[in-house]
Structure 1
Amino acid sequence: MNRKLLTAEGYKCLQNELNDLVRRERPEITKIVSWAASLGDRSENADYIYNKKKLREIDRRIRYLTKLFEVAHKVEYSPEQDGKAYFGAWVELENDEGETIKFRIVGDEEIYNRKDYISLQSPIAKACLGKSIDDEVKVQTPKSITSWFIINISYNIPNN
C-alpha cells in the first residue's frame, strides 16, 4: 500500500470504525458463533454459518484498516490554504448554464457512502487543485472538455 492521504475528519472516522469493530462488533459476533457452535451440527446451523461469514468480513476489514493506518498520513487544515482549492477543501463550481456542483476533495479511502466527496485522483479534483475563486476549471470528460468556474472554496465542514 502506498502512502494514503486522509483528512483529519476521515482519519478520526476510520479510527472510530476500527475501534468499534475490535471492541464491540467482533466480540458480539464471536459470542454468537461460539453459542451456535455449541449447538452441534454446524453444517446445517444457519446462525453458525451466517455469523462465521460475518466474522470473516469483520476480520478482513480490521486487517485492511490496520494496514491502512500503517501508511496513512493525516492532513490537517492550515490557514495558508485559505482562498485556494487543496486537499480537504469544499469546492463549489458553476458552469455557463448556471448549474452548480459542490464537493469535498478527499483521499480515496473517504469517498465511500458520500456523494459529496470526490477523490483527490479524480479529473475534476486535479483540475481544481491550486485554483482560486473565479478561476476557470477545464475538465476532460468522455464527450468533451467542460468548463466550470470556482464560486466558493471553504475548509469548514457543512452541517448535514
Structure 2
Amino acid sequence: MSERTNPITPSGFSALRAEYERLFADERPKVVEIVSWAAGNGDRSENGDYIYGRQRLREIDRKLGRLSKQMKFAKVIDPAHQDDRSRVYFGATVTLADEDDNQRSVTIVGDDEADATSNRIGWNSPLARALRGSQIGDLRTVQLPGGPKEWEIVGIDYPSPA
C-alpha cells in the first residue's frame, strides 16, 4: 500500500476500527494464551499447538499492522455533506447506461471498502476515475480488458445528511 491519503466513508472506517479492536482485544490474547500453554508442555519442535499458534500469531500481527497503516492514511469523508451534488465525487451513487441502454448503479467508496458484489467500486478503479467530476448526460469511456466501453451518466445520488 502506498503511503498516500486514502478516502474512506465513516462506515468503512468504523469497520476497519472494529476489525482492529476485535483482533487486538479478543483474538490475539486467546492465541497468546494457547501458545504460552503449549510452550509449557515441553518439546516445541513437535508441538502442533505451539507451531500453529505461533503462525496464527504472526498472521494476526501482520493484519493488525496492515489495518493500522490503513487507518493512519485514511481520510474520512462523509458523502452526505457533499456540497456539489450535480457532479460525481467520492460517495456518489451513479446510475449508468451503456450503448444497449442496460443500466447499472455503482457507489464510489474508498479502495479499502470496495465490494463488487454490492456494486461498491474503489475510488481509484478505472471506472471511478473515469466518472470523477462528470454530471448527468456526460459520456465516459472506460478501458476494460475486453476493450473500451462507453457509459452515459443518467443519475447521481448522495446519501442524505443525518
Please tell me the TM-score bracket, short chain as reference: 0.7 to 0.9
1:90 aligns with 2:97: no
Instruction: Identify unmatched segments of 5+ residues in structure 1.
Output: none
TM-align CA RMSD: 2.1
In the alignment, structure 1 residue 100 sits paired with structure 2 residue 103: yes
Q: Could you say which residue in structure 1 is the equivalent of 2:45?
A: 43
Deviations 1:39-96 (A, max 9, x none): 2222112222112111111111112222232222111221414232211222221212
Structure 2 distance, partners of 1:55, 1:26, is 7
**Equivalent residue, structure 1, for 2:35:** 33
Supply the AA of the counterpart residue of 1:125: A
* 1:118 aligns with one of 113, 117, 121: 121
Aligned 8 A contact 2:16 2:71 in 1: no
CA distance, structure 1, for counterparts of residue 129 and residue 61 of structure 2? 34
SS of the equivalent of 1:134 reads: coil
- Give the structure 2 partner of residue 146 of structure 1: 149
Structure 2 alignment gaps of length 5 or more: none
Query: What is the identity, as a one-letter code, of the residue corresponding to 2:124?
Result: Q
Identical aligned residues as a percent: 38
**Normalized against structure 2, the TM-score is what?**
0.84
Residue matched to 2:56: 54
